[in-house]
Structure 1
Amino acid sequence: MRDETDNGNPRSTARIFGHPIHPMLIPFPVAFFIGAFVTDIIYAQTAYLMWQYFSIWLITAGLIMGGLAAVFGFIDYFGNRRIRALRPATPHMLLNLLAMILSLVNAFVHSRDGWQAVVPTGIILSGIVVLILLVSAWLGGSMVYRHGAAVVE
């Protein structure tokens, strides 16, 4: 079995059976936060409270899974100076932190009653988080596909 350092790529510190954990967890909070934005839009169009409830549950699930992904992201970032040295690594981490902070604020906004919980502040925060995640995902993909972070050849 070849070690990841054989190909010269920066290796992930947090791994299970040789697979990096952080990239395995990232799709979950991304899907939850995008789902919350979609349910916010539907709520703004219909005013059915069910959609507001869906939004707060999706934001909460996104915060839980995002927090878990962040733990393993920090382990990779601080555990390997070669990953920290990658140009996209620090902006990727900072954008993810910003998305999590805004999502926490958004959870408190969504905890209000009725229309004010979503329109306009909640939907704006959800939209900003989705935009931040798009940029962050681009940077994360760049680290993998351009710089070979955690890739075994």
Structure 2
Amino acid sequence: MLVPIPIVCFVGTLVTDIAYWSTANLQWANFSAWLLSIGLVASVFAGLAGAIDFFGDRAIRRLRPAWIHASGNALALILAIVNAFVHSRDAYTSVVPTGLILSALVVVILLVTGWNGAELIHRHRVGVQPGERA
């Protein structure tokens, strides 16, 4: 239940970056920085829970989608941290073009890792009790 918070925040960062790029209204750049900060804090907790699942079960580590999911989420987190430093600069240089590109990369990576996470649940039944529907 921790995962949706950083996803929404990172997608929201991309949306507010696009809004700033379109309007040059400084408040959109502020929203981006706030969403990034909240997303990073929440992703630490989601990442810890994911790492416990990943490293705690050898069967999960044998699955290719688990590796894509884990390494992709780690990459997204690293890029989001870099993006937070970029967004700490002056408004225009914090968004255009580097912040906008980083925000888009994070969202694309999250789409790939989300697909692999869903495959882990629905195809490989990771985290699903026997007899329970995913």
| Superposition TM-score tier, normalisation by shorter sequence | over 0.9
Structure 2 letter corresponding to 1:94:
S
Q: Secondary structure in 2 aligned to 1:50? A: helix
Structure 1 letter corresponding to 2:70:
M
Structure 2 letter corresponding to 1:42:
A
- Post-superposition offset of 1:87: 1.8
1:140 maps to 2:117: yes
The 2-side partners of 1:43 and 1:73 are apart by 33
1:71 to 29, 38, 48: 48
Residue identity over aligned pairs, in percent, reads 52
- Post-superposition offset of 1:82: 1.1
TM-score (norm 2): 0.95
1:93 maps to 2:82: no
Could you list the runs of 5+ residues in structure 2 that have no partner in the other structure? none
The 2-side partners of 1:136 and 1:72 are apart by 15
The 2-side partners of 1:137 and 1:28 are apart by 13
Could you list the runs of 5+ residues in structure 1 that have no partner in the other structure? 1-23
2:29 to 52, 56, 68: 52
Runs of at least 4 residues off by over 6 Å = none
Q: Deviations over 1:15-58 (max 9, x none)?
A: xxxxxxxxx11111000000000000000001111000000010
Larger radius of gyration: 1
Q: Which has the higher contact order (CA 8 A, sep 6+)?
A: 1
- What pairs up with 1:101-120 in 2 under 5 angstroms? 101-120=78-97
Aligned length: 130
Q: Deviations over 1:54-109 (max 9, x none)?
A: 00010111111111100010101111111111221011100000000000000000
- Post-superposition offset of 1:146: 0.4
